């Protein structure tokens, strides 16, 4: 996954990227990691508390290796915008307010509770959640989660997503459906296939 500035360069230009970064709407993906200085201790966390504005959302999934075997102990870092599309309301900050680390359990599972993110104000970029998956035996990789039905998800994006994940289950795709639960909250599943190293 490319940093946000790359998305802008491919679309409305680097000037828009610079503007959004300087106003706290978005910043480079690597810089976002500074907001979660504590290490992962559990496979399930809360990123956005009950007082956070927006539709409640639970996202979960499984991290697997190339052979489809669950990867335990993988570090899953997730960060996102708030419901209005801002990572932070502080000017000149590179820190995402809604973020956190998880450590997959013995079955390779992760889960977090948050709110549905908003699209960047004034942009045509679909609302999304960023991930970085890493670990002692995992080759670090960036992933993205977008949502079916988002007005900025194009048919071309859907077709590319299908092509990129050909041969894998639907749950590994980067554009996923949102399910509405009986309590009105939203649910989404996003699995990851990662490359692993041989134990030292």
Q: Which pLDDT score, from 0 to 100, does residue 90 have?
A: 78
pLDDT in tens, 24-40: 454 444 444 455 556 77
User: Residue 113's beta-bridge partner residues?
Assistant: 46, 58
Residue-wise over 168-199: b if at least 16 C-beta within 10 A, else e? eeeebbbbbeeeeeeeeebebbbbbbbebeee
Please give the Cα distance from 144 to 67 (Å, whole number).
22
Residue 122 contacts residue 15 (beta carbons within 8 Å): no
Domains of the chain: 4-193 (2.60.130.10)
Map residue 114 onto helix, strand or coil. strand
Q: Which pLDDT score, from 0 to 100, does residue 4 have?
A: 38
Please give the Cα distance from 145 to 114 (Å, whole number).
14
Q: Which pLDDT score, from 0 to 100, does residue 146 have?
A: 98
Q: Which pLDDT score, from 0 to 100, does residue 165 have?
A: 95
Sequence-separated (6 or more) residues with CB below 8 Å from residue 110: 43, 44, 60, 61, 62, 63, 74, 76, 102, 103, 104
Please give the Cα distance from 166 to 168 (Å, whole number).
6
Task: Specify the pTM.
Answer: 0.82
Please give the Cα distance from 186 to 147 (Å, whole number).
11
Q: Which pLDDT score, from 0 to 100, does residue 61 have?
A: 98
Q: Which pLDDT score, from 0 to 100, does residue 3 have?
A: 36
Q: Which pLDDT score, from 0 to 100, does residue 14 have?
A: 41
Strands of the 75-80 sheet, one edge to the other: 98-103, 75-80, 128-135, 138-147, 175-176
User: Residue 112's beta-bridge partner residues?
Assistant: 45, 59
Q: Which pLDDT score, from 0 to 100, does residue 40 have?
A: 76
Instruction: Give 10-residue mean pLDDT values along the chain (200 residues).
Output: 35 42 44 56 93 97 96 95 91 81 96 97 96 94 97 96 95 98 97 87
The H-or-E segment that residue 46 falls in is: strand 44-46
For residue 53, give both structure tokens. 């504005």
């Amino acid at each position: 996954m490319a940093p946000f500035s790359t998305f802008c360069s491919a679309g409305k230009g680097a000037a828009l990227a610079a503007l959004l970064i300087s106003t706290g709407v978005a910043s480079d993906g690597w810089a976002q990691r500074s907001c979660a200085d504590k290490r992962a201790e559990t496979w399930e966390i809360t990123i956005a508390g009950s007082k956070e504005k927006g539709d409640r959302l639970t996202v979960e999934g499984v991290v697997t290796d190339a052979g489809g075997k669950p990867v335990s102990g993988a570090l899953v870092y997730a960060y996102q915008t708030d419901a209005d599309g801002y990572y932070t309301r502080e000017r000149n900050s590179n820190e995402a307010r809604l973020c956190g680390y998880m450590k997959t359990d013995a079955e390779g599972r992760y889960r977090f509770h948050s709110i549905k993110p908003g699209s960047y104000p004034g942009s045509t970029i679909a609302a999304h959640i960023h991930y970085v998956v890493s670990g002692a035996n995992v080759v670090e990789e960036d992933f993205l989660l977008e949502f079916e039905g988002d007005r900025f998800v194009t048919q071309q994006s859907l077709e590319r997503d299908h092509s990129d994940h050909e041969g894998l289950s639907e749950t590994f795709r980067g554009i996923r459906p949102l399910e509405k639960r009986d309590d009105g909250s939203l649910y989404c599943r996003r699995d990851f296939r990662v490359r692993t190293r041989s134990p030292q």
